[in-house]
Structure 1
Amino acid sequence: MTDILMPKATAVWLVDNTSLTFEQIADFCGLHPLEVRGIADGDVARDIRGADPLVNGQLTREELDKAQNDDSYRMKAVVSRHAELLKSAKPAPKYTPVSRRQDRPDAIAWFVRNHPEVTDAQIAKLLGTTKSTIESVRSRTHWNSANIKPVDPVTLGLVGQLALDELVKKAADKKAKDDAKKGGATLQPADAAEPAEPEFVPEARERRGAEPTAESVFGAKD
């Protein structure tokens, strides 16, 4: 099935203007059959104006006629050359299964304790959480703080090892660059730290001459 623009508006038009079954309309518009039934009953999309897929170039008359003549036939949407331009380039937010969402605070605590160089924005993007949740875990104001314990997000199954390694490396490289820009303290050379002690040279010993004589002791007589 090809994604179409304005699926509910298209479903409204098909319900009002064709003899298609709920299943056929649901398949074409990417909706649930019960949702299409709700549109027909007026319980769903009551304020939405119908959009004609024939006029906007998403469906051909031949496809519509085939579907109306055969309840088992599923219509194929026309791929618009402008469809890709209308799609958002922003990636969809990371989805975490409900069964694992309770593990995210443990993963956040692991980052806070083991990798403080990773920013809150990076953690939020990787785990699919919010900055406010990260801050509540860090400040221990989270409603479940008593039960939160640091656990590797790979062990929890929230991310893959390669993705985690890449994030940690990127954060470490950025921190190193930032520290270099700040011009952190550098070590002084050892010889500049304190003056070098002069080399010890033993005093020259006076050479002993011959045995002392009276003249050398009392001086020469005049």
Structure 2
Amino acid sequence: MTDILMPKATAVWMVDNTSLTFEQIADFCGLHPLEVRGIADGDVARDIRGVDPITGGQLTREELDKAQDNPDYRMQAVVSRHAELLKSNKPAPKYTPVSRRQDRPDAIAWFVRNHPEVTDAQIAKLLGTTKSTIESVRNRTHWNSPNIKPVDPVTLGLVGQLVLDDLISKAAAKKNKDDLKKGGGVLQPVEPEVVEEEFVPEAAERRTAEPTAASVFGTKD
């Protein structure tokens, strides 16, 4: 598949402005030679305006001249710095083999029982199922409820262990964050500890005078 931008518009320009063969144009633009012939005959891309790949920075003049001089030469496109930006980063939809689709309710039941912190949206995306199916498994209204048993999706071969661990850790972190926002996980302030005053015994009263023999033994009358 070609990485050039607007391949049909480029092919239109090449048909109108060069002596390249249909095969050369098709190879450069990622089209079928018959499609290029249809462009030349006016049956294909009739309303498309041609785009100059040289001005657009996708082909050099040297490459074009080499190709026009040699019908067997195949031009090399200049990689456009914009091509990567236009590519979709969205992964292809996950395909679950028909033989394993009947295992998804078991995997859903495993999530419902063991990891309630994982949202229905996350389960649906991971297993390639729907929220209504998850709800039916949770409420036991699924048509096959009597036969559904919680089974680890890794054991069922629906996901890899690393992917599952990553999902669960993210779900747990999000739940903890939400709990903190709601105040459920906020630590309560510690009551200040009451410090009792240190006991200091009162100083014994000091006698004002030294005891005398008379005061101790008495006097003889």
Q: What TM-score do the two structures reach when normalised by structure 1?
A: 0.58
Q: Which moved more, 1:55-64 or 1:105-114?
A: 105-114
> CA 1:138/1:169 → structure 2, altered by over 3 Å: closer, same or farther?
same
Q: Which moved more, 1:114-123 or 1:145-154?
A: 145-154
Please list, as runs of the form range in 1=range in 2, the aligned pairs for 1:122-201 lying within 5 A after superposition.
122-123=122-123, 125-126=125-126, 134-140=130-136, 146=143, 153-154=153-154, 159-184=159-184
Are the counterparts in 2 of residues 109 and 138 from structure 1 also a CA contact under 8 Å? Answer: no
Are the counterparts in 1 of residues 10 and 50 from structure 2 also a CA contact under 8 Å? Answer: yes
Measure how far apart 1:135 and its partner are: 1.8
Unaligned runs of 5+ in 2: 187-221
Are the counterparts in 1 of residues 58 and 77 from structure 2 also a CA contact under 8 Å? Answer: yes
Measure how far apart 1:151 and its partner are: 6.5
**Partner Cα separation in structure 2 for residue 147 and residue 45 of structure 1:** 52
* Residue number in structure 1 paired with 2:107: 110
Q: Secondary structure at the match of 2:177?
A: helix
- Please tell me the root mean square deviation across aligned C-alpha atoms, in Å: 3.9
How many equivalent pairs are there?
A: 176
Percentage identity across paired residues of the two chains = 66
Aligned match for 1:91, one of 89, 92, 100: 89
Q: Which moved more, 1:169-178 or 1:2-11?
A: 2-11
Question: Is it true that 1:10 corresponds to 2:6 in the alignment?
Answer: no
Aligned match for 1:100, one of 82, 97, 102: 97
Q: What TM-score do the two structures reach when normalised by structure 2?
A: 0.59
Letter paired with 2:82: A
Letter paired with 2:90: A
Unaligned runs of 5+ in 1: 187-222
Are the counterparts in 1 of residues 110 and 151 from structure 2 also a CA contact under 8 Å? Answer: no
**Partner Cα separation in structure 1 for residue 34 and residue 105 of structure 2:** 39
Are the counterparts in 1 of residues 176 and 185 from structure 2 also a CA contact under 8 Å? Answer: no
Measure how far apart 1:112 and its partner are: 6.0
Q: Secondary structure at the match of 1:87?
A: helix
Are the counterparts in 2 of residues 109 and 137 from structure 1 also a CA contact under 8 Å? Answer: no
**Partner Cα separation in structure 2 for residue 44 and residue 157 of structure 1:** 46
> CA 1:42/1:110 → structure 2, altered by over 3 Å: closer, same or farther?
farther
